[in-house]
Amino acid sequence: MSRPRERPISLAYIAQAADHDRLEWIDGKELQILLDGSQTGNQVTVVRSRLGAGSASPLHLHRNEDEMFVVLKGHGTFWVGEEQHEVGEGGVLFLPRDVPHAYRFDAPEVDLLTICTPSGMEGFFRGAGRRVTDPRPDGWQITMAALAAAAAAGGQEILGPPPG
């Protein structure tokens, strides 16, 4: 008789908007870590990003996580492998690990939900970003070097600059 697969232990977690870890992100935009591994038994990370026109990710892939996007507001272009897709408000993407991808947003206001399984991506965001509650150093910005270092530490690979 086989034993059931053991799952990580997680407890219920409830938070209000003020409880989320808020990070300054690329181009001074903000993202919030809504759920991370410490709250979900390492099962899922959920991030909400408020971005704008021109916000773009480098071409990259994840070795450890599957990633899902839900475009709550706005629209943009997503590169998935060799394909290019225009995705609008209400659109969703599922990207299995090891699939190269990137995005660029065209709308002046973008509200994006990112869901990663298992958890772990929060380390990348915290490694490259800056908590908005901490004093902002003069001239601080996210550089490609900071993104690459945070990505490498978390099992991601930066493959190149944003496409397009």
11: pLDDT strictly greater than 80 = no
Domain layout of the chain by residue ranges: 19-132+141-155
pLDDT tens for each residue of 66-95: 999 999 999 999 999 999 999 999 999 999
pLDDT tens for each residue of 126-144: 999 999 999 999 989 988 8
Average pLDDT over residues 146-157: 92
Q: What is the CATH number of domain 19-132+141-155?
A: 2.60.120.10
Residue 87, pLDDT score: 98
Residue 42, pLDDT score: 94
Residue 121, pLDDT score: 94
8: pLDDT strictly greater than 90 = no
Residue 164, pLDDT score: 80
Instruction: Locate 159 and state its tokens.
Output: 């493959």
